Amino acid sequence: MEYEIKKEDKFDYLEVGEGEPLMLLHGLFGALSNFSDLIEKFRTTHKVIVPILPLFDLDILHTSVSGLAKHVTQFIEFKDYKQIHLLGNSLGGHVGLVYALKHPERLKSLTLTGSSGLFENAMGDSYPKRGDYEYIKNKTAQTFYDPAVATTELVDEVFEITRNRIKVIKIIALAKSAIRNNLGEELNQIKIPTCLIWGKNDIVTPPFVAEEFHKLIPQSELHFIDKCGHAPMMEVPDEFNNLLSTFLTKHSN
């Protein structure tokens, strides 16, 4: 599915559908393709918004979780979205948590899937190896329970990013920032309804991370999906969408 990316001010984003805003925040190697099944399902019931996070466009000083959260804050204020259902995968979940802690008044609910913010296995100390296609292919496949989900197209996308020296430096800066920015002490302040949807076979943010989020966020519910890795909305879209739909229906007007 090809989507039209809108450009306004300094923001690039997708916006389709009508209804309560459902905003999706992608991860470190995220792209619109990660959310295609989710967008197609919810555009009939919600205004689906995907801001393109400036992973490689911030100066190195602001290439951090808080730098990305600031960008999201400015975008939401620029568009004046309210009563948002905010969803984040991986690093996007972490950015969503930082936003939720600072601006709960704009949010109606929060959904996290494979989120960083407490603990994650980074791509490994040697990561990323520039120019090593097999290495990138294997690492990308490890994101999923079923390695076949790591299509050639997806691996090529990641490989292309890792061929650029500046982008590699920024990926490492963001990964380190995610590890440093531990939110364990603050999560009890999140009072909005929160849905945790986790792959039972996630090796990046393993199941115990989801259990810890569940314990620390007061109004949270936790759903595990079996035979699923770090990106459930890509690997098992139907099951993911059903869980999300039930949660959103519960917390809609």
pLDDT score, position 84: 98
Does residue 142 form part of some domain?
Answer: no
**Domain of residue 237, residue span:** 6-120+182-250
Total of domains in the chain: 1
pLDDT score, position 181: 92
pLDDT score, position 155: 92
State the sign of the Cα–Cα–Cα–Cα dihedral 216, 218, 220, 224. Answer: positive
pLDDT score, position 125: 47
CB 213 within 8 A of CB 180: no
- Cα R_g (the chain), whole angstroms: 17
For residue 61, the 8-state DSSP code is G
Does residue 150 form part of some domain?
Answer: no
pLDDT score, position 124: 45
H or E element in which residue 158 lies:
helix 152-162
Does residue 195 form part of some domain?
Answer: yes
Over the chain (253 residues), what is each successive 10-residue block's mean pLDDT?
Answer: 88 96 92 90 97 94 95 98 97 97 97 92 54 86 92 91 89 91 95 98 95 97 97 97 98 85
Strands (E), 41-106: 47-51, 84-89
- CATH code (residue 55): 3.40.50.1820
Say what the pTM is.
0.94
CA separation for the pair 214, 187 (Å, rounded): 10
Does residue 165 form part of some domain?
Answer: no
Does residue 156 form part of some domain?
Answer: no
pLDDT score, position 32: 80
